Amino acid sequence: MNCFEQMLEMGHEQVALCSDRASGLRAIIAIHDTTLGPSLGGCRLMDYPSEEEALLDVLRLSRGMTYKAAVAGLDLGGGKAVIIGDPERKTEEVFRAFGRFVDSLGGRYLTAEDMNTSEREMAIIRQETRHVTGLSKKLGGSGDPGPVTAWGTYHGIRAALERVYGSPDPRGRTVAIQGVGSVGSRLAHHLHEAGAKLIYNDIKPANIARTLEDCGQGTIVDDKGLFAADCDVLAPCAVGAVINPRTLDRIRAPIIAGAANNQLEDDVRDAEALKARGILYVPDYVVNAGGLINVYGEIHGWPPGKSMDRAAGIFDTVKHILAVADEQGITTVAASNHIAEERIAAAARH
């Protein structure tokens, strides 16, 4: 399937291939839908095995941002960018070149930090364009979105616990977290403070060591042990496509709710398989919307604390999605997609 066929299938408006010989930049910017507002989404830096995989990733991620903004009630469209390169070899030249490409889109796409990019890279991009969010507080931005993402994810988990166990209280519940980086470690902190038992999995020993020091307890497992863990909640907070036919049969958790993007390898197939097994899946773009809420607040000048309060509202959003899924007898993914599409269609009509 070529690029235009993929765009047509996923409903994208624009895909920009960006190349700069002097800096070595190779990037793709995908704008999915701007019905509700300018597209916004982070800039991810990864050493993709192929350009085809980079394209598929940015298309899926940008589409997810459209639905995330719509369900969260934000006046934003969905976009995303990926830079193909080694995360260990970041240069100012690459990010300045990327910033010039962002600027050339005239505000149709607003960038932000994502996997392997941070406030530092956003500050470099800001030298070339004003269409960047997630800046440090010193530069008048909202700072690291990780705390808001983790807070929203925590409340999404609480809503799922209430549905399955009759109470949103995490006390005494066991949560297995895949990835204890910026978001996963903060999620672990909230759960630990609430009295939950924790299981950790991460490819970086330093992340686990830091989280253990903060929380003071937890069991460490490998990938195989993670999916087979005897737990109440499986919380993927690292890479995508971890829920697939190769892992589905091993999962023992009755709830899957985490901050990673695109957790399902196939949104329809895997969501149906989880539903058939009686596993409650909280759509990732719903539960991890805190980061987007954070930068939206930055754009609109919200006072301190408002983004955290808005992210806590993910509890009620998840409850609504679960109710719609039950009423219509559909998967939670189909229910959240339907809610997003209805809002976008209503805006398009007006």
In whole angstroms, give the CA distance from residue 27 to residue 16.
Answer: 8
Active-site annotation holds for 80: yes
CA distance linking residue 189 with residue 295, whole number of Å: 22
What 3-state class would DSSP assign to 134? coil
Q: Are 84 and 47 in contact (CB under 8 A)?
A: yes
Classified as helix, coil or strand, 77 is strand
Write out the two tokens for 195.
Answer: 């009295």
Side-by-side strand order, sheet with 280-281: 219-220, 197-201, 174-178, 233-236, 255-256, 280-281
Distance CA 240, CA 260 (A): 6
Tell me the pairing of strands 25-33 and 14-20: antiparallel
99-135 burial: b if 16+ Cβ within 10 Å, else e? bbbbbebeebbbbbbbbbbbbebbbbbbebbebbbbb
Which residue out of 80, 90, 197, 275 is catalytically annotated? Answer: 80
334 contacts: CB under 8 Å, gap ≥ 6: 271, 325, 328
Q: Tell the burial category of 198 from Cβ atoms under 10 Å away from its Cβ (0-12, 13-18, 19+).
A: buried
* CA–CA dist 58, 82 (Å, integer): 6
Q: Where are the beta strands (DSSP E) in 2-108?
A: 14-20, 25-33, 39-46, 77-84
Active site residues: 80
